[in-house]
Amino acid sequence: MSKISKKPGKTISDVIEIQNISNQGIWIFVHDQEFFIPFNKFPWFLNATVQQIYNLEFFHGKHLHWPDLDVDIELESLKSPDSYPLQYS
């Protein structure tokens, strides 16, 4: 006889979701917060395909990883961009 869980697990869509890709950047929803990743500050995404952008992994509740693009972003750098002044040039 198998047991049925009384409390359903959390789905990945409750935690992280690509909401929109525009000509200016990517809107992403993480832990009930919305963030914008502009292409001018994150140029690795500018020529990426939609499939590459949607292939997103989320580790340890704080680390975003796009394996197809070999791009990693700490969530804290999106929350407090002034604390992370280094930019790609």
Q: What is the mean pLDDT of each run of 10 residues along the chain (89 residues)?
A: 49 74 95 92 93 93 93 89 64
Q: In whole angstroms, give the CA distance from residue 43 to residue 37.
A: 10
Domains located in the chain, CATH noted: 15-83 (3.30.2020)
Find, among 87, 82, 83, 77, the residue nearest to 28 by Cα. Answer: 77
Give the global pTM.
0.74
Per-residue pLDDT, 82: 73
78-82 contact pairs (CB < 8 A, 24+): 78/28, 78/30, 78/35, 78/37, 79/33, 79/35
